[in-house]
Amino acid sequence: MANLALVYGMRLFPASDLKSVGSATVQLTNGSNGSITMHLIEGSKEQIEEALKQSLDAFFDLYPEI
């Protein structure tokens, strides 16, 4: 199996301050670009932590071969 790289970012904002969330881009060594869908989770600290754990589990469920 190839060595993998998980690209992610996190930052907390007051929910009422958010206007929109866009996608992020990465540049690959072959010169092409890839896009990364940004996700938004709102709630208390505990709700965000639980939703993030579920989201991470679901993400890896998409790739059963790894």
- Residue 51: how many CB atoms within 10 A of its CB? 14
d(CA 18, CA 42): 11
Predicted confidence (pLDDT) at residue 65 exceeds the cutoff of 90: no
Q: List the domain boundaries for the chain.
A: 42-66
The candidate with the shortest Cα–Cα distance to 55, out of 6, 18, 16, 19, is 6
User: pLDDT tens digit string along 9-55?
Assistant: 889 999 999 999 999 999 999 999 999 988 899 999 999 999 999 99
